[in-house]
A = this chain, B = another copy of it.
């Protein structure tokens, strides 16, 4: 499907028909998700495709049994996993070395990334360093805290989520991104750690034509949000 057409047809659908979604449709959308831009290419994300009936039923409950989850044919949980940074950093260094990347790229991953993602006990020092230096010259201000690191991963996972949802629309099916879920129960279900953050649960299916969407798409005037400076 043409790109702008895909963006136009994508709506959050809250009720699906009983038609199955072919596995290839999901796989193709997951592959599109993995191509999203992401912070320092650290790929600190995870995609859990919950298919077995027992786990699926528990996930629907953890999504407060909302219609978009209850009637979903497939459910995908997108997770931010900053704890992956070390492993991915090592892999990145191996690939860059194999590609004969310039020294500054190797330095970036061998020095700056560990300072950014690691040394959590240095958080107050990082804050001080960024903000004192920032008085005198432009200086990055984040991430300095653990929460900031989560935020970086969450942003990248959201970029990937949008690729996933558009890719489903481009194949004629629909999605609904859900944020109303019980994060503790989803973590337990997927055996995640407390360091992982559940970004959104995305339901997939064929739109129920009579009650999938509730009305025309509502967007406020563009002048409200777009400013030329």
Contact = CB atoms under 8 A, between A and B. Distances in A.
A179 B141 CA distance: 10
A125 to B, nearest CB: 18
A49 B228 CA distance: 5
A208 interface: no
B101 A64 contact: no
A155 B200 CA distance: 9
A162 B36 contact: yes
A141 B184 contact: yes
A139 B185 CA distance: 9
Given A88-B220, A139-B182, A52 B99 contact: no
Contacts of A105: 214
Contacts of A226: 30, 34, 47, 49
A21 interface: no
A225 B46 contact: yes
A179 B167 contact: no
B152 A151 contact: no
Interface residues of A, number: 89
A63 B102 CA distance: 22
A179 B64 contact: no
A97 to B, nearest CB: 12
Contacts of A46: 225, 227
A129 interface: no
A20 interface: no
A71 interface: no
A142 B186 CA distance: 13
Interface of A: 1-4, 6-8, 10, 12, 28, 30-32, 34-37, 39, 41, 43, 45-52, 55, 61-65, 88, 91-92, 95-96, 99, 101-102, 105, 134, 138-142, 147, 151-152, 154-156, 158-159, 161-163, 165-167, 170, 177, 179-185, 189-190, 199-200, 214-220, 222, 225-229
